[in-house]
Amino acid sequence: MGLSRDISAFGAQRFELTGSDVEYLFDTDRVRCTASQLLRSPMARREPAPPLMRYVSPVLDRPALLDVAGLGCETLRPGPEALHPRTVLARMPRTLCPSEDPAPPRTLADYEAMDLLHRRSAA
């Protein structure tokens, strides 16, 4: 997938993919998929989860991409349910909750992500 080093991500983490194969297959310059969809790649592997694992993700006032080892990684976008009194974000004012991206990239279906992964692994 163009990574410069190995990374770990939780299954729901969304990544943005670009490249000529994305443009050819989907007629758009960028698409998004989840880390769990990328597990079908021959280069990915599922690691046994430790008893306790801490993930860190910034929460910004608008959607943003972070470059994580060469792959576009979306920042966390908590919905209103994340502001439940028992969550870490409980004290965050609703007005600071990130707004939706006005033009989000297309989210790939599982079979589309698998096709893209096979094409990239064959290259």
pLDDT tens for 50-89 read 777 777 777 777 778 889 998 899 887 766 666 777 777 7
The angle formed by the CA atoms of residues 89, 34 and 74, to the nearest 5 degrees, is 50
13-27, 41-55, 57-71: range with lowest mean pLDDT: 41-55
20 has a pLDDT exceeding 80: yes
Contact by Cβ (8 Å): 34, 114: no
Chain center to CA of 110: 14
The model's pTM = 0.75
